[in-house]
Chain A
Amino acid sequence: MENVPIFLIIILALALVAIGVLLWLLFGAQGLLNKPKLHDLSIADLEKKKAEFQAELREQGLMDLEKAVSENAAFIQKDVRRTATELNGYMHQELQRALDEEFSEYHRAADQINQLVAESLKKVRGSIDEQHRQLSQQMLAELAAEKQRLIEQFQDNMAEVVGFYVKAAIGDSLTIDDQLDYILAQLENNKQAIAEDLKNGG
């Protein structure tokens, strides 16, 4: 079978078809030729034939319609599926493209915002550094001025400061009795000057 050429099979099939056609012409066409003529039929028969013919046509039409519908339905279903698949792919592609564009735009905007924020932060940091530097300089200057002022104040009032310290240190332990020898010695040392002033003043 596998070694038989296919064209022989086709020729055999065509021969069978031709034999079938000849048989149909011989026996089938004979029946049609034997059918009664229209003008031989009565009105009622004509009506009846008409109804039968219409029913036959209707049935044939319905069958053809159903066949066509069923054949087309498969095609339509196939088309719909293919269309749906293509549409789905298209939608997916379009959505992906739109999303890509949006994401790209979003990333671009985000990059710009990041850049702006970075620049702004850099400016703020620079401003803060500058203020910090100025404040540090100002504080150092004020500290130096305050230190100098305290030193000058201490130097200007050094005797009072030391005196206050001595007084706080010795407290009431140094009485006039303890100082009496010193006081009398000072009076003795300046006796002449005091006496002269008393004499002149008196």
Chain B
Amino acid sequence: MEARRLILPGDIVGRADVTKVLRELESVNDFMLQADLRHVAVRLPAISRQLNSLAEANQYDLSDKRQRLQLITFLNKIRSLAPQIHLSLASEPSETATAKIIDWLRRELSSYTMLEIGIQPSMVAGCRIRTTNKLFDFSLHRQLASAEPALRQKIGEL
């Protein structure tokens, strides 16, 4: 990474968010470069909440060409190199819940952990985490399946 360790804000959750912010930042950069080439003084265009968070978290000024390029490089590395976790849930999580999960992942595992969230209603409750090589199933469905012999025994007793 860079000499200065950049911060990835919590509202940039997965690679899709990174790609979207990267495209936006490149667009902003192109706009600013063109204005610079024409020697026209322009204001920074309106940017998304995620890009603004990224800039603020790292105290970067997007009007500065060098800092923009640093962020573009950072986002490109994140997109290609950051570890990714796929989290399956039974229903759509709220932004608060997503923020808490991503905060834990980036605090406990890696600062640049990418999180992809999928919805699987059959899980009923709990979660299922898939990393590069492993699957951690903490769903209620798996727990019910593991408790199936006890359930069969109980039904047999009836």
Chain A proximity of B16: nearest CB distance (Å): 19
- Smallest Cβ-Cβ distance to A163: which chain B residue: B124
A183 to B94 alpha-carbon distance, docked (Å): 14
Please pick, from B96, B108, B145, the residue contacting A191 in the complex, using a CB distance under 8 A.
Answer: B108
A180 to B145 alpha-carbon distance, docked (Å): 22
Within 8 A of B (CB), among A157-198: 158-160, 162-164, 166-167, 170, 172, 174-177, 179-180, 182-184, 186-188, 190-191, 193-195, 197-198
A86 to B132 alpha-carbon distance, docked (Å): 128
DSSP class of A's interface residues: helix, strand, loop or mixed? Answer: helix
A28 to B104 alpha-carbon distance, docked (Å): 185
Q: List residues of chain A with CB within 8 A of the CB of B92.
A: 176
Residue interface bits B96-131, CB-to-A below 8 A is 1, else 0: 110011001100111001000000011111110101
Q: Number of A interface residues, CB 8 Å?
A: 33
Cross-chain contact A175 with B94 (CB below 8 angstroms): yes
Check: B35 CB closer than 8 A to any chain A CB.
no
Cross-chain contact B122 with A184 (CB below 8 angstroms): no
Q: List residues of chain B with CB within 8 A of the CB of A160.
A: 122, 141
Q: Which residues of B contact A (CB under 8 A)?
A: 81, 83, 85, 89-94, 96-97, 100-101, 104-105, 108-110, 113, 121-127, 129, 131-134, 136, 138, 140-142, 144-145, 148, 151-152
- A163-B124, A187-B129 given; 7 more Cβ-contact pairs under 8 Å: A166-B124, A176-B97, A182-B126, A182-B138, A187-B105, A194-B131, A195-B110
